Structure 1
Amino acid sequence: MDQIVDTVWARLHAGANAGKERSPFTMLQAATIALDGAPTVRTVVLRHASREQRSVMFHTDVRSTKVTELRRDPRISLVGCDLDGGIQIRLHGVARIVDAPAETREVWNASRPRTLIVYRTPVAPATPLASPAEAHATTQAEDLDSAAGFDNFCLIEVTVARIDYLDLNPAGHMRASLVFEEGKWRGTWIAP
């Protein structure tokens, strides 16, 4: 099981640190519990992975529905899939909304300008619009300041408690369930 734990965190780390060529684990599907109690899923970009802290992190707009959902119920599941390699990784954990400037400023400053443009939009995500142009950030000089949009920026840090690893190897499918308890990952094989 140690090798599987190594593989999972190596793939997550590669996803969070992808350069021009994205890793299959750069884009993850994040599932939360909607305000009406239904499941809801969206794609997020993995920005950081730490095996030592058992955590993964992504950015989002503090005005987004997912933040409201996570404030109500912090449970979250994330899934990534390498279709070519036949590997699926599911993470289950608890989210912490990091919207304190002292904690987010360093990540904001290290982010590419094109990543941050989404936080400069004048309307909250999922707001109905008459046209797509209404959602675009203004390009006036006063709004091009490097801090424009910072108030809408937050990080979601997920502490991972369980991992489901599936390898669809042609020689034989393998699936493992890993749970973090008593300071270490403990795993069992389960049927794929």
Structure 2
Amino acid sequence: MAVSCVVSNASNMDQIVDAVWARLHAGANADKERSPFTMLQAATIALDGAPAVRTVVLRRASREQRSVMFHTDVRSTKVAELRRDPRISLVGCDLDGGVQIRLHGVARIVEAPSETRGVWNSSRPRTLIVYRTPIAPATPITSPTEAHATTHVEGLDSSAGFDNFCLIEVAISRIDYLDLNPAGHMRASLVFEEGKWRGTWIAP
């Protein structure tokens, strides 16, 4: 799903806010034509205090709630890191369009079945296979196949792996928008204050 909303000559920050959320919404709702913002890099603070970054798939973006969501294995290192320090940053980049979006916020780990079941049921079966492996992510193994989940078992419960499934909902408080326009690079910093996004131009 392509989005033509690059702000090349933005006169106000509202246009940039519109562009950011349109791109995130397209990323979360991409189907066969994947959006550049479907896969984001998520940075957390590792348990040893070092930076940690990995790729996540954007599953939902809500401008009204100022939030984005992805799902992950509750046994993963990133969940342990966010339990200790919920601060998180995410970055996506459209290389062809020359646009980078950085999001900063606080993560909420959603484990309650009342909140996660709907997302699980609406996900593609192949997306959920990874949650069926009995081995937690980052566990040392002797070969890759040791960690492969069972996929073809007669009568396999559709809820198999659900206990390992959780959502990460990120409340966004700050956005950094960079437009690498050939006519002149532009960068804006957006902060949510007093019920609205307030932005300032900053040097690229």
Residues 143-176 of structure 1 show CA distances to partners (whole Å, capped at 9, x for unaligned) of: x211000000000000000000000000110000
Matched, 1:24 2:36: yes
Matched, 1:140 2:145: no
Aligned length: 191
- Partner residue of 1:50 out of 58, 62, 74: 62
- Partner residue of 1:5 out of 5, 17, 21: 17
**How far 1:21 moved relative to its partner?**
1.2
- Partner residue of 2:82 out of 66, 70, 76: 70
**Alpha carbon RMSD of aligned pairs, Å?**
0.7
Matched, 1:100 2:116: no
* Pairing 1:78-157 to 2, within 5 Å after superposition: 78-138=90-150, 139-142=152-155, 144-157=156-169
Aligned-partner SS, 1:60: strand
Residue type of the alignment partner of 1:180: F
> What is the distance in 1 between the residues matched to 2:72 and 2:157?
20
Aligned-partner SS, 1:125: coil
TM-score (norm 1): 0.98
> What is the distance in 2 between the residues matched to 1:19 and 1:28?
16
Tell me the residue number matched to 2:52.
40
Aligned-partner SS, 1:141: coil
> What is the distance in 1 between the residues matched to 2:101 and 2:154?
44
Runs of 4+ in 1 over 6 A off after TM superposition: none
Residue type of the alignment partner of 2:153: Q
TM-score (norm 2): 0.93
> What is the distance in 1 between the residues matched to 2:153 and 2:39?
32
Matched, 1:183 2:195: yes
**Which runs of 5 or more structure 1 residues have no equivalent in the other structure?**
none
What percentage of residue pairs aligned between the two structures are identical?
88
**How far 1:140 moved relative to its partner?**
3.1
**Which runs of 5 or more structure 2 residues have no equivalent in the other structure?**
1-12
